[in-house]
Amino acid sequence: MSHYLLGVTGASGAIYAARTLHYLQKSGHFVSLIMTDAGKDVADYEGQREELFKADEILDVKDFFASCASGSSAFAGMAVVPCSMGTLGKMANGVADNLLTRAADVCLKERRKLVIVPREMPYNWIHLKNMEQLTLAGAVVIPASPHFYAKPQTVEALADTVVAKILNHLDVPNAIVPEWGSNK
């Protein structure tokens, strides 16, 4: 069992976070949830707050005394999903002004897995530069770009095409989307 952090911001797509939480827990992992204020509001609005509150631990985004604010805390990695352009900008520039951005900063400095799932369209130059900066710092940017070639029949299955990629990059084996070519 590993310990993962799930950061949820005020970008659209709380379903991606809820599904990520579901599969992490199903795989036997312990998940700590950190939601920004806007993240709570948008998750509420998108009907996902209840699902997200199934996390094993819910941390206060203002609590810098939480263990994951320190590099000495042995969590395995973190996903920020969905990631707003505001939080993206903070993380890309070392602005650790809340527990979510501080934990992301800890991931980068300790060379742990940091998966960022940005959601916006279109991207402006600042967004793209921030994604470049985070990639150079060691994060993996996985845009919330679902695919259709697995022929998903439900919104959940469509969201899971993104979630499978998040789990892969957190080193969590899953069979959500069959490996391409495996059905031949």
Ligand X SMILES: Cc1cc2nc3c(=O)[nH]c(=O)nc-3n(C[C@H](O)[C@H](O)[C@H](O)COP(=O)(O)O)c2cc1C
Q: Which residues bind ligand X (CB under 6 A)?
A: 9-12, 36, 38-39, 42, 45, 84-87, 119-120
CA distance 146 to 113: 21
86: left (phi over 0), alpha (psi -120 to 50) or beta: alpha
CB 28 to ligand X: min, Å: 29
Tokens of 32: 């700590």
Compare residues 101 and 177 and give the one whose CB is closer to ligand X.
Answer: 101
CB 58 to ligand X: min, Å: 16
Among candidate residues 171, 168, 147, the one with its CA nearest the CA of residue 159: 147
8 Å CB contact between 106 and 73: yes
Closest residue to ligand X, Cβ-based? 10
CB 121 to ligand X: min, Å: 8
Length of the chain: 184
CB 8 to ligand X: min, Å: 8
Compare residues 10 and 77 and give the one whose CB is closer to ligand X.
Answer: 10
CA distance 166 to 123: 21
Compare residues 78 and 172 and give the one whose CB is closer to ligand X.
Answer: 78
State the DSSP code for 180: T
Compare residues 26 and 124 and give the one whose CB is closer to ligand X.
Answer: 124
Compare residues 77 and 118 and give the one whose CB is closer to ligand X.
Answer: 118
CB 27 to ligand X: min, Å: 26
CA distance 17 to 79: 9
State the DSSP code for 72: T
